[in-house]
Amino acid sequence: MENIENVQITKLEKGHYVKPLLVDFKQDGNARKWEMVKFGNAVFVVIFNKDTKSFVLVKQFRPAVYARKMLERASENSEKLPASEGVTLELCAGLIDKQGKSVAQHAKEEILEETGYDVCLEKIEPIKCFVGAIGIAGIENTMYYAEVSNADRKNAGGGVDSEMIDVVDIPFADMKRMVTEPNDTEMVNFDANLMMGIYWFMHSKVSQYDL
Ligand SMILES: Nc1ncnc2c1ncn2[C@@H]1O[C@H](COP(=O)(O)OP(=O)(O)O[C@H]2O[C@H](CO)[C@@H](O)[C@H](O)[C@H]2O)[C@@H](O)[C@H]1O
């Protein structure tokens, strides 16, 4: 996953997954413009394994995270950025892009594809539907909860097609420390969705388990 070479960043005129758009509008009579990108809605799943008392998360190389760091550091440092700088820790997640399938069904399929756990739809609990990338996209994110057990694991996961995903189990106590300890300006490679999911678990689920 971490053998990353020949990285080049160029302008994208016409994207398949991401489309830059300009919004022209009037607000209180004043003409305004806003630059936005159109991209897909997404589903996220907080997965907790009750046998191991661990969160089931995924790690993957995120080109945008890596490229952004390359751009930020270009002027100060010409040394190659280690690939690990682009590897993020995430909730199991995916784009909502399958015609005719519900968001919950997308969640079920992502859980199986990415982590290898087979969870029935009835056990996938809604947490929240909320806006993502507010300033530039305004997408609809939906977050679910799924409790799993070791017996639900049907395969190693890892994603489909060209996806290179590592499944990682992080014990509750370690994850709690990771999201709650302040780190000021030093960046951690996970996003607010993961933090929200873990905080939600600490608020709404933790008392159900002997943790
Ligand atoms: N921007 C992109 N450029 C090139 N190929 C892409 C792409 N986005 C997705 N793909 C392709 O589509 C495949 C399936 O994507 P997923 O539905 O698993 O979403 P992913 O989690 O990768 O990121 C997507 O979904 C997450 C939620 O999981 C969002 O936060 C994130 O913005 C979004 O890219 C990826 O493996 C990749 O091949």
What ipTM does this complex have?
0.93
Q: How far is the CA of 62 from the centre of ligand 1 (A)?
A: 9
Q: How far is the CA of 93 from the centre of ligand 1 (A)?
A: 9
pLDDT at 80: 82
Residues with CB under 6 A from ligand 1: 17-18, 42, 93-95, 162-163
Amino acid at site 179 = V
pLDDT at 73: 85
State which ligand 1 atom lies nearest to the alpha carbon of 42.
27
- Structurally, what CATH architecture does the domain formed by 19-206 represent? Alpha-Beta Complex (3.90)
The C-alpha angle with vertex 204 and arms to 184 and 145, in degrees rounded to 5, equals: 90
Going by alpha carbons, the residue nearest to atom 22 of ligand 1 is 94
Of 61, 57, 64, 58, the closest CA to residue 84 belongs to 61
Contact 150, 181 (CB under 8 A): no
Of 127, 136, 144, the closest CA to residue 93 belongs to 144
For residue 9, what is the enclosing H or E element?
A: none
Q: Which residues contact 30 (CB under 8 A, 6 or more apart)?
A: none
pTM over 0.90: yes
Contact 125, 144 (CB under 8 A): yes
Name the residue of 95, 139, 165 to mutate for ligand 1: max ligand atoms within 8 A of Cβ. Answer: 95
Of 147, 90, 157, the closest CA to residue 120 belongs to 147
Query: Rounded to whole angstroms, how far apart are CA atoms 86 and 70?
Result: 10
Q: How far is the CA of 112 from the centre of ligand 1 (A)?
A: 16
pLDDT at 112: 97
Of 189, 202, 197, 195, the closest CA to residue 65 belongs to 189
Going by alpha carbons, the residue nearest to atom 33 of ligand 1 is 95
pLDDT along the chain (211 residues), means of 10: 86 92 97 97 98 97 94 75 94 96 97 97 97 97 98 92 91 95 85 97 96 90
